[in-house]
Amino acid sequence: MQDNHQGNHEETVLFRVEGEEVDNKARKILITVYQALKEKGYNPLNQLVGYLLSGDPAYITSHHNARSLIRQVERDELLEEMVGTYLDLAENKKL
């Protein structure tokens, strides 16, 4: 991950997570965690948003080792995967 933020609020901050393997890992973990939350009867969207905003792993069930899995990837990497996928779908007019 690279953050070239230097305190100047007039310039665009360059933010980049390096490595395609991070995307694949984040994607696999998000899918596994989503399925585990759904299986346990939770609203996966609400629980994931709670985790992403707070960093508190208590929002994620331990079912199927989901809580341990999600902590293997930084929250910013999870967000990048989610936003990237959303934008890809939007660009391809699937949204």
> Tens digits of per-residue pLDDT, 1-17?
444 555 556 787 766 65
Q: Has this prediction a pTM greater than 0.85?
A: no
Instruction: Sort 76 into a burial class: Cβ within 10 Å, 0-12 / 13-18 / 19+.
Output: middle
HSE, side-chain direction, 13 A CA sphere, residue 66? 24
Q: Tens of pLDDT along 53-64?
A: 999 999 999 999
pLDDT at 6: 52
Instruction: Sort 47 into a burial class: Cβ within 10 Å, 0-12 / 13-18 / 19+.
Output: buried
Q: Are strands 2-3 and 15-16 parallel, antiparallel or unpaired?
A: antiparallel
